[in-house]
Structure 1
């Protein structure tokens, strides 16, 4: 990844783009488990923000075989826990006196690209559009003096994710 420029694509705060796959700690073995839309439910019934329809999610661990299905009325986003099962996120670590966290590798990629960029550009904002995820990042994550430690933590977190198999 180039560390020179980052252009905000105006992803929504804790954008739904990052919630189709959430890496969490397994409640049985504490290994890396994954929360995904329930495979037996139609995509439109699994869509975040689908109105009053409940969200159907599955938590599964390939390490120990644990799985659990759950139907939730809403997803609580914006903290280092899974928005559906309220499990601690797998990609979570202490950094600069705070908690650095990401829902999955795409979310971690976005944070890494933003932090390592020397030039950070805002994308176009439509009138009445919500604040982007990048604009809502905490100050400690945006501060250049923390760049080295944050990037080191991101690299460490990335290395903990088991290879897909």
Structure 2
């Protein structure tokens, strides 16, 4: 049995991931040089044990190793200093600076397959490859995988989606 088939016959158990779990480091296209840059929680706000949701409203930094470009993002705050804006986690742009994601490519008739980083690609690849997909018991319909578009979950698109995910991994 070849590796591709062995991998696609496995069982996948959803661990209840949310998209914000993958938003700790997001690969984007640098606005200056067009190379790969990263958006991440500002180093001064990376406290251990801080929840993924709280890290979303922490200041973020954009950094490109190719050209040295940097930028900072901070949430808008209200009168008491509380954040009044939660970044929108959706689509092929990063939620903080609005830059195009580095990991995106056309798939399945012009749709865009995208991921924030290689950990995100890993989970998507394992899920799509699995013949048996089990939900997490306490997430209901709230997990990242429950919200994937039907074309990504379709067995008929499995080969195309896996091919595109492998290409994203190579681009990372």
TM band (smaller chain):
0.7 to 0.9
Give the alignment's Cα RMSD to 1 decimal.
2.2
TM-score (norm 1): 0.85
Could you tell me which residue of structure 2 aligns to residue 141 of structure 1?
Answer: 152
User: Helix, strand or coil for the counterpart of 1:22?
Assistant: strand
Distance 1:78-1:54 versus aligned 2 partners, 3 A rule? closer
TM-score (norm 2): 0.82
Contact 1:47-1:55 at 8 Å conserved across structures: no
Q: Deviating runs (4+, > 4 A) in structure 1?
A: none
Could you tell me which residue of structure 2 aligns to residue 110 of structure 1?
Answer: 123
As a proportion of its length, which structure holds more helix? 2
Instruction: Name whichever of 21-30 and 64-73 sits farther off.
Output: 64-73
Aligned positions, number = 155
Separation in structure 1 between the aligned mates of residue 15 and residue 53 of structure 2, nearest angstrom:
20
Distance 1:26-1:47 versus aligned 2 partners, 3 A rule? farther
Contact 1:35-1:58 at 8 Å conserved across structures: yes
Contact 1:48-1:55 at 8 Å conserved across structures: no
Unaligned runs of 5+ residues in structure 1 are: none
Partner residue of 1:66 out of 65, 69, 76 = 69
- Decide which structure has the larger Cα Rg and report it: 2
User: Helix, strand or coil for the counterpart of 1:50?
Assistant: helix
Contact 2:45-2:58 at 8 Å conserved across structures: no
Unaligned runs of 5+ residues in structure 2 are: 1-5, 77-85
Could you tell me which residue of structure 1 aligns to residue 81 of structure 2?
Answer: none
Instruction: Name whichever of 117-126 and 132-141 sits farther off.
Output: 117-126
Pairing 1:12-161 to 2, within 5 Å after superposition: 12=18, 14=19, 16-41=20-45, 43=47, 49-50=53-54, 54-73=57-76, 74-97=86-109, 98-125=111-138, 131-161=142-172
Could you tell me which residue of structure 2 aligns to residue 5 of structure 1?
Answer: 11
Distance 1:54-1:140 versus aligned 2 partners, 3 A rule? closer
User: Helix, strand or coil for the counterpart of 1:141?
Assistant: helix
What are the superposed Cα offsets for residues 24-75 of structure 1, whole Å, 9 maximum, x if unpaired? 000001111000111133538x865439x95200000011111111112421
Distance 1:151-1:29 versus aligned 2 partners, 3 A rule? same
